[in-house]
Amino acid sequence: MTGDFLALLQQSPFPSVVGDGHNPMPLEATTVFAFHCADGVIIGGDHRATAGHTIFSDRTEKILELDSHSLMAIAGVPAMAFEMARTLQTAFEFYRRSQLQAMSLAGKVRALSRLLRENLPATLQGVGAVSPVFAGVESDDPGARPVIYFYDPLGAHFEAAAYAGSGSGTTTIKSVLHYLETWGHPRPGEMPLDQAVVLANRLLMTAAEFDAATGGVHAEQQEFATIKLLSTRGIRTISAQEQARFWKDAQP
């Protein structure tokens, strides 16, 4: 007994759903992250979805808006993650309409935790694991600071001081962000939007050099990451055209 969660999945009584060589592995979305910048929180992801060692798609959108002041970035099985997002969107809107006010940030964080706990049987069977990164801000507090949370499979949530990530490529990304937060000039938390967007794309391109499941970002070919900015003003999607302009301006 090693205590390795992924190793235990291979001993599942449902071998066909964890990939036994005869049945396909479940579809998975990979590599999402979030970090603080001078304008708020940048949350981004690549476009690749895989099934085992097969590239299923390089056009997957992994950054899901839950309401005007919260986002969920997904790594894991998209079908489960999309259903969680739809459930949260409905719950948040119902609360807003019935209570005549937005749900608190703490309430939103706990709502996602509850869905992850309820999803544990699918996670243990290897067909429904979801590992999200959540970013939100109190909508009724103009002085509030956006926050980033990451989760474990049981639904426990942890606030990230500067950055968080999930998926197969995030070991590389978090290593780079740690270096930049410690010794960078400027640090990511001090970067204006244009520099932060360029950094986000470079992080994914770096991760793709070491992780085959990370991909779909090729700045030189005008193919950029999905990137959104969360601030006290709400959510802003950084378009591919805007990212291309930032990228061009950053080149020596």
pLDDT tens-place string over residues 143-184: 899 999 999 878 899 999 999 999 989 999 999 999 999 999
3-state secondary structure of 186: coil
Please state which CATH class domain 26-137+144-250 belongs to. Answer: alpha beta
pLDDT at 200 over 60: yes
Mean pLDDT of 60-70: 94
User: What was the pLDDT predicted at 17?
Assistant: 41
- Strands 234-238, 226-231: pairing kind: antiparallel
Q: Residues near 28 by Cβ (< 8 Å), separated by ≥ 6? A: 49, 50, 51, 75, 76, 77, 78, 213
Neighbouring C-alpha atoms within 13 Å toward the C-beta of 195: 15
Mean pLDDT of 108-124: 92
Helix (H) or strand (E) run with residue 105 in it: helix 105-118
User: What was the pLDDT predicted at 25?
Assistant: 54
Domain range annotation of the chain: 26-137+144-250
- Reported as a pLDDT band with limits 50, 70 and 90, residue 219 is confident
For the whole model, what pTM was predicted?
Answer: 0.87
Q: Which residues are catalytic?
A: 30
- Reported as a pLDDT band with limits 50, 70 and 90, residue 139 is confident
Q: Cα(176)–Cα(82) distance, rounded to whole angstroms?
A: 29
Q: Residues near 67 by Cβ (< 8 Å), separated by ≥ 6? A: 89, 92, 93, 96, 102, 139
